[in-house]
């Protein structure tokens, strides 16, 4: 069974930004969501786990592989889909996967051809195998990105902001593809999109300012907020006043007016009504408070 253990991992960049601040996580096989706003340190953690940058201190092990000190061994069992998946301008889908298979040590041409054909079928792109990847839509590029990440029977797959910019249909297809391959490997889904984690992951962590501010299951943490989230539609000019007097965890526009969510153990009055807590409420509560409620 694949197992990833991260202990007290820290990284400070030369400009003084502490991107990773004593990160400790244990992740079993399946889909694990890493949720956080832009700048939380998610990509720094992903790059470190993918052996693309060094940490200042701490340890990280994938089963018996010491990620920080055995990067070559890690790369043999790693599938990585970065936030920006760049490709050569004129290379076709088939050529791209064949090239990456060579880089991953699959030297037999017949074996590569069979593998590439299998993966193109798996991501529903076989009929596009001779088209230049540069001409693909965003969703098609993400699917070919997952195909290349699956080469070499990986034990750890890292996908960084995979659904940003995808339309709803492409996003659903990408979710189904990830779910199909998550049974036997560790997949880390790093995203700022709450719905991705809610729909795909049974375990998750929320990261902010280089720290883990929550780790556990989405269902458990939602249950802990039950009965404590209240909402109200207000006038736009009143929003600062409400933020000054209530624990406003989020506000969004609905039909041109702000709908605010407030965290309170008791009915705050003033026309607020109780609302069922969701993962978005959890996200904003953790980001604003920085407090852990479970570890």
Domain at 205, CATH number = 3.40.50.300
Which residues, listed in sequence order, are joined to residue 34 by a DSSP beta bridge? 190, 205
3-state secondary structure of 279: helix
Q: Reduced to 3 states, what is the DSSP secondary structure of residue 208?
A: strand
Q: Name which of 285, 267, 283, 286 is nearest 275 in CA terms.
A: 267
- Residue 284 in any domain: the answer is no
Tell me what pLDDT residue 107 has: 87
Mean pLDDT of 146-160: 90
Count of beta carbons in the 10 Å neighbourhood of residue 28: 12
Q: Are residues 91 and 27 in the same domain?
A: yes
Residue 179 has pLDDT above 90, yes or no: no
Residue 289 lies in a domain: no
Q: Are residues 268 and 208 in the same domain?
A: no
Residue 78's alpha-carbon distances to 54, 186, 223, 272, 284, in angstroms, are 16, 10, 35, 49, 32
Length of the chain as a residue count = 295
CA-nearest of 166, 174, 171, 165 to 145 is 174
Characterize 95-121 residue by residue with b for buried, 16 or more Cβ atoms within 10 angstroms of its Cβ, and e for exposed: bbbbbbbeebebeeeeebeebbeebbe
For the purposes of burial, counting CB atoms within 10 Å of the CB of 200, is it exposed (0-12), middle (13-18) or buried (19 or more)? buried
Query: Alpha-carbon distance 100 to 92, whole Å?
Result: 12
What's the pLDDT score for residue 291?
Answer: 42
pLDDT band at 210 (very low <50, low <70, confident <90, very high): very high
Range of the domain at 247: 227-275
Residue 250: both structure tokens together: 């989020």
Contact 82, 159 (CB under 8 A): no
pTM comes to 0.83
- Look at the block and give the residue holding tokens 């960049």: 13
Give the mean model confidence (pLDDT) for residues 125-138.
91
Tokens of 104: 């991953």
> Quick one: 11 and 97 in the same domain?
yes
pLDDT band at 169 (very low <50, low <70, confident <90, very high): confident
Q: Tell me, yes or no, whether 141 and 271 share the same domain.
A: no
Q: For the chain, give the percent of residues with pLDDT over 70.
A: 95
Cα–Cα nearest to 172, from 200, 149, 194: 200
Question: What is the model's pLDDT at position 260?
Answer: 95
Task: Give domain status of residue 291, yes or no.
Answer: no
pLDDT tens readout for residues 34-80: 998 888 999 899 999 999 999 999 999 999 999 999 999 998 899 99
Query: If 0-12 CB within 10 Å is exposed, 13-18 middle and 19+ buried, where does residue 289 land?
Result: middle
- Which residues are within 8 A (CB) of 276 and not within 5 positions of it... i.e. 6 or more apart? 226, 229
Is the predicted pLDDT of residue 168 greater than 60, yes or no? yes
Q: How many domains does the chain have?
A: 2
- CA angle in degrees (0–180, nearest 5) for 120-121-127: 75
In this prediction, residue 289 carries a pLDDT of: 67
Regarding whether 141 and 209 lie in a shared domain, the answer is: yes
């Amino acid at each position: 069974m694949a197992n990833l253990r991260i202990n007290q991992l820290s990284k400070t960049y030369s400009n003084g930004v502490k991107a990773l601040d004593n990160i400790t996580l244990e992740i079993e096989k399946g889909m694990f969501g890493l949720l956080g706003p832009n700048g939380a340190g998610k990509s720094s953690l992903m790059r470190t786990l993918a052996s693309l940058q060094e940490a200042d201190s701490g340890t990280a092990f994938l089963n018996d592989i010491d990620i920080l000190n055995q990067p070559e061994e890690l790369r043999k069992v790693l599938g990585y889909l970065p936030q920006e998946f760049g490709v050569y301008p004129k290379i076709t889908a088939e050529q791209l996967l064949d090239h990456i298979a060579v880089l991953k040590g699959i030297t037999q041409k017949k074996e590569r051809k069979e593998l590439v054909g299998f993966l193109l079928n798996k991501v529903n792109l076989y009929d596009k195998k001779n088209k230049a990847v540069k001409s693909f839509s965003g969703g098609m590029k993400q699917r070919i990105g997952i195909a290349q990440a699956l080469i070499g029977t990986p034990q750890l797959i890292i996908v960084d902001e995979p659904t940003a910019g995808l339309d709803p249909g492409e996003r659903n297809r990408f979710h189904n593809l990830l779910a199909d391959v998550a049974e036997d490997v560790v997949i880390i889904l790093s995203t700022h999109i709450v719905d991705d984690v809610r729909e795909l992951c049974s375990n998750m962590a929320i990261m902010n300012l280089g720290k883990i501010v929550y780790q556990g299951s989405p269902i458990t943490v939602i249950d802990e907020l039950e009965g404590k989230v209240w909402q109200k539609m207000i006038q736009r000019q009143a929003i600062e006043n409400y933020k000054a007097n209530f624990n406003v965890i989020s506000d969004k526009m609905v039909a041109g007016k702000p709908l605010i969510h407030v965290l309170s153990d008791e009915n705050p009055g003033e026309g607020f009504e109780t609302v069922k807590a969701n993962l978005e409420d959890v996200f904003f509560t953790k980001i604003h408070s920085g407090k852990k409620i479970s570890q």
